[in-house]
Amino acid sequence: MGIRILVLGANGQVGFSLAHHAKPALLDTLDAVVSYGRDKVDFTKPDQIVNAMKDVRPDVVINASAYTNVEKAEDEPELARQVNAISVGVLAEQAKKQDAVLVHYSTDYVFDGTSNRPYLETDATNPLSSYGRSKLEGEQFLQQVGGHWVVFRTGWVYAQRGGNFCKTMIRLAQSRDQLNVVDDQRGAPTPASWLAELGLTVAGVAVQSRYKTMGKMAPTFLPDYPQGIPSGEIFNASASGETTWYDYAAMAVELALKKGLVKKMPQINPAKTASMGFKAQRPAYSVLNNSKLKDAFRLNPPEWSRGVKNLIATLDEV
Ligand SMILES: NC(=O)c1ccc[n+]([C@@H]2O[C@H](COP(=O)([O-])OP(=O)(O)OC[C@H]3O[C@@H](n4cnc5c(N)ncnc54)[C@H](OP(=O)(O)O)[C@@H]3O)[C@@H](O)[C@H]2O)c1
């Protein structure tokens, strides 16, 4: 009766949250949640993707694996392309063959940042980096292959576990008197746990559809989506509001100081991106408009600063 979920990239920020924080009520309706990290399914070895799909036979596969090192991707564009694009195409083909729903995550870095208002899903893409190009090509493979898929485009992701900007700033503040942080890029720090919930919401809709097909009442906690799973759609999915890396760092370090994670407040200097010597070019403005997500899933994204406060409240070390 229940459905089977396969989570790929299970040791990343979103993947770990998917693998470990599914609501118990949802878990009760599932036959299985199988979670594989890179050790089991390596996206540089597409046959491992196909084999895992055949072994697990998921109704819903959630892909949280990705080559996410934006700087390093400039030196390894082919590797980033294999993981973020070519193998995503292989996964999409296999999901289609097996009639599985594919949930995938993409990035605000598909945009060039020249917009003066939050980006819509339909706005022209123009990635500035090797990472952004590889993620955009991954989206394009999904569109070409077809089948049942949903993409959540997000940005500035953080979690308690795993590497992210917020934790890096706190760690640097523990040992440095001064930090230079860019103040000319705007975005919205987004919690991995919420992105995981979105993926599981799609799984919840799949469970609900299964009940309906069988003429049974679906459990009441499941969201009611009479139209079924939105399919073949890209949704912007970021926290609400916007900030700069500078303001984000300042807030995080101040909260870490209050909590005792940082002993002395360092001087935090606003810096221009051009002065930082980054290899990868990043969009100056990558705020996403979440209206389509709000309408389709009838939800309100969390406000970015509240999420960061929650993160620091739960951090015991960085
Ligand atoms: N992080 C961000 O700020 C950000 C921003 C926008 C969009 N996104 C998107 O959101 C999704 C989730 O990102 P995240 O923040 O959870 O990233 P993450 O923490 O870096 O996790 C990515 C996971 O992918 C795995 N991975 C890397 N190369 C792989 C390979 N060859 N085969 C299989 N797995 C591989 C990593 O494995 P290891 O643990 O072994 O390294 C890691 O567990 C991704 O699609 C990402 O592009 C993230």
* Average per-residue pLDDT for the chain: 94
Contact 162, 252 (CB under 8 A): no
Strand ordering across the sheet containing 3-8? 30-36, 3-8, 60-63, 101-107, 149-154, 233-236
User: 131 an active-site residue?
Assistant: yes
CA 65 / ligand 1 centre spacing (Å): 5
How many angstroms separate the CA atoms of 166 and 157, rounded?
9
Contact 50, 94 (CB under 8 A): yes
Contact 141, 155 (CB under 8 A): no
Contact 89, 138 (CB under 8 A): yes
For residue 135, the ligand 1 atom closest to its alpha carbon is: 47
pLDDT, one tens digit per residue, over 266-311 is: 999 999 999 999 999 999 999 999 999 999 988 999 999 999 999 9
pLDDT, one tens digit per residue, over 42-51 is: 999 999 999 9
> Judging by beta carbons within 10 Å of its beta carbon (0-12, 13-18, 19+), is residue 51 exposed, middle or buried?
middle
119 pLDDT above the threshold of 80: yes
**CA-proximal residue: ligand 1, atom 10 (nearest):** 105
Residues with CB under 6 A from ligand 1: 9, 11-15, 37-38, 42-44, 64-68, 83, 105, 107, 135, 154-157, 162, 192
* Substitution candidate for ligand 1 out of 157, 158, 288 with most atoms within 8 A of CB: 157
pLDDT, position 122: 98
CA 8 / ligand 1 centre spacing (Å): 10
- Three-state DSSP at 41 gives coil
Beta strand residue intervals within 178-266, DSSP E? 178-182, 186-187, 190-191, 233-236, 243-244
pLDDT, one tens digit per residue, over 126-157 is: 999 999 999 999 999 999 999 999 999 999 99
- Cα dihedral 207, 218, 212, 196 in deg (nearest 10): -20
Please name each of the domains of the chain with its CATH number: 3-162+190-240+282-302 (3.40.50.720)
- Three-state DSSP at 66 gives coil
For residue 44, the ligand 1 atom closest to its alpha carbon is: 31
For residue 157, the ligand 1 atom closest to its alpha carbon is: 3
95 pLDDT above the threshold of 80: yes
CA 50 / ligand 1 centre spacing (Å): 19
CA 227 / ligand 1 centre spacing (Å): 31
Among 36, 119, 131, 248, the one annotated catalytic: 131
**CA-proximal residue: ligand 1, atom 5 (nearest):** 155
Cα–chain-centroid distance for residue 93?
21
Q: How far is residue 23 from each of residues 204, 219, 224, 237, measured CA to CA in Å? A: 10, 13, 17, 20
* Substitution candidate for ligand 1 out of 40, 63, 65, 106 with most atoms within 8 A of CB: 65
pLDDT, position 278: 97
How many angstroms separate the CA atoms of 5 and 35, rounded?
8
CA 195 / ligand 1 centre spacing (Å): 13
Contact 140, 102 (CB under 8 A): no
1 pLDDT above the threshold of 60: no
36 pLDDT above the threshold of 70: yes
pLDDT, one tens digit per residue, over 198-208 is: 999 888 888 77
* Substitution candidate for ligand 1 out of 13, 40, 44, 68 with most atoms within 8 A of CB: 68
59 pLDDT above the threshold of 70: yes
CA 13 / ligand 1 centre spacing (Å): 7
Structure tokens at 171: 């760690």
pLDDT, one tens digit per residue, over 219-255 is: 766 777 777 778 899 999 999 999 999 999 999 999 9
Q: Is the pTM of this model over 0.85?
A: yes
